Structure 1
């Protein structure tokens, strides 16, 4: 909380393994005509997958240490079906996000979450790793979004920073 009693807004992803929508779009822009493939749970989304919904939200809450938290998040819903003759390209995916951006304010640094379902199983929340080129296609690995304890995560980050700065490999402490 700041001096005025307002909640501090966190715009960067909470987890270092996450990418933002801006990072994803930047990577896709390097290979716009390449097919875009998503992998989750050890399998590939079928080539006819749909982007059924894109949502942008501002969230506020209290973590388990009663610390106020606020962040922006973009949800991209993927429907894992084989309903189209061609694989979606990076350009088409970016155009879908662009159309959403024409109507909603999309924070390019917002946390990015994928909601994935085959229409039978319940939707599951995933985070996305940085896209990689695999032969002629762009592949984005999705992994389940884990729960976390923000106070513990902050404490661990402080401990890692202190040990990197003042550890045995360092000639002097940086504090």
Structure 2
């Protein structure tokens, strides 16, 4: 009799609703896009050469003078570039974009853990991960804009290198996926408990 009662209780216990395929697909897509943004931003920070202007290559870590037919002469002392505030400005910019990568990695980890460990706190982990991704956007975008302001006298549209555009795209992806992550969390887990896609 006890075994039948326990079996009946298990059958009558409310089951946790399974995630819809569309929701799982969207969340997986967000995680994939954040991972791509982390890779793009990491490449951009590690390479660091963002602007080519007047046969000079300006980067986060180096300044290079390009000669005719000779190897570029690169130095780490950015004061030799003769751009006002470049040495201090680049320290701040590379700190921001490097921090953006680190914060994004933590955010990505929280997003993945929230999907692998489907427990009571998974929604909160997803929200925290999305907020960290938005924090990465703020850091990355501030670094990109600060670089533009610092190098305003040397800017040409064709002078931006591929690694600069990697950082620009990464900042855009951080914003898009951070906002999307918060939005899908709000529409799939509304506060009043009603309405689920």
Q: Which has the larger radius of gyration?
A: 2
Q: TM-score range by the shorter chain?
A: under 0.3
Richer in strand (by share): 1
Determine which structure has the larger helix proportion and give its number. 2
TM-score (norm 1): 0.24
